[in-house]
Structure 1
């Protein structure tokens, strides 16, 4: 019989003469211990195969579960998050407190503006009723009201020219019809206040400049109302509106002279006689007013009447 393992030709032997393999197909080992060991090892290998497959499936299930569940942060990471949250909380608190402070400041400014407007309105109405009497009782605290009255006079003058030249169809309205009259009127008012200051200094009179501004501004209240009427009447009548404009500038001259003569002009110690000093102040103010108003009117009406201008 041929051995199926080593192909050795045997007779009727039960085992192969060369390799000792079982020729009857039982493959039983001559050593029972070896057979048992082989059986145990095969059983152990199969058991190990089953255990490894079970472990692999369990590990696969754990991996899929771990991928679906977010990782648990470590304590150090939690501590860092807590510190970052604590750091963000003061910043958010500071930003919210800053916004509250800004809102509070804005509200305070609005309230202050309202309060100043109410005070100025009541002051303006009292001055308008009795300008000269109020002028004699004003103090340094009314200097701001004087500046506001002068600013209103300049703004109303510029709006008058803007409306008038706009109805006539002149060019360059914003610059020539608003900004230039505003600037020139402010120069005229500052020149009047400066002339009062110079004359009083020449007369060697002790005075306070803030009170002087308050007095001059108080006497300009009727001029502001006159300009307001001129702005309203320009739609109805040009001639009447121009008359009101001229009257408002006459009030400026009257206000300057009233403030000057309100002070006791010292005719004995003055370097120049009071009559001449006041006359010179009026002449200078008239020249400045004439030149500036003429520049405004000529700047807007010049192109209309020039040979190359618009017909």
Structure 2
């Protein structure tokens, strides 16, 4: 046994032969420390397990909610509210990622097809990085979908609808789910390297712009106080949306130009 105080090795006994320290007390201290460490490790494992179980439960609830919405989008949207705000945020994130990833894998498929004829384009250095063409645009599309929600909320306010910001966000995100599913289908098609993904992507984006705002506005029609007719409120939402598209379109063109410059710089 080794004395914890002086480090002297002893064959046995209750006290250290060198300094007289109680060896039994040292042994009990070590055992207690080991026991405390085991208890802490067990608590950490238990807490991690609770986090995993909570994540699984939340994922299952979100998936079940999406299935219900896909069956009856408008009906489920009318019953949505503040309690669905987390689902709405997740759906907006899925929307932004699906669009940007579709562009990324679509461009990657384009490069792969050119690689059959040109060794230059088949080189990996010619392809922009994942961050350049997928991560950065995802933030742009997230801002765009949030602006569309803000414009829709503004349309409700000018109609005199007394609905909270969170409640409207819950409804907006709920009716966004079918279109997010379309964009996920476009992403799958882009992974399959088929140009059909562009048609599905365009259809989904048009549906988001032209169908979601009037659907949300109409769902509150019974609460409107008649300050502004729903037709004019919808037109106002479209006007603000197209202004935002115009501004963000310039940003997107600038982004595409940056990608083109990045490709040329890598090639030459």
Bin of the TM-score, shorter chain as denominator length:
0.7 to 0.9
Tell me which residue corresponds to 2:143: 187
Tell me which residue corresponds to 1:221: 177
Any gaps of 5 or more consecutive residues in structure 1?
1-68
Tell me which residue corresponds to 1:95: 37
* CA 1:303–1:222: 2 relative to 1, 3 Å: closer
Alignment RMSD (CA, Å): 3.0
- What is the count of residue pairs matched by the alignment? 239
Tell me which residue corresponds to 1:83: 25
CA distance in 1, matches of 2:72, 2:11: 84
Deviation at 1:294, TM superposition (A): 5.3
Deviation at 1:201, TM superposition (A): 2.5
* CA 1:293–1:94: 2 relative to 1, 3 Å: farther
- Residues 108-257 of structure 1 aligned to structure 2 (within 5 Å): 108-169=50-111, 171-234=127-190, 235-238=192-195, 240-253=196-209, 254-257=211-214
Residues 1:261 and 2:203 aligned together: no
| TM-score, reference length from structure 2 | 0.77
CA distance in 2, matches of 1:297, 1:241: 20
Deviation at 1:72, TM superposition (A): 6.0
Contact map agreement 1:176 1:299 (CA 8 A) in 2: no
More RCO (CA 8 Å, sep 6+): 2
Tell me which residue corresponds to 1:280: 236
Deviation at 1:304, TM superposition (A): 4.1
Contact map agreement 2:213 2:234 (CA 8 A) in 1: no
* Structure label with greater radius of gyration: 1
CA distance in 1, matches of 2:225, 2:13: 99
CA distance in 2, matches of 1:305, 1:179: 18
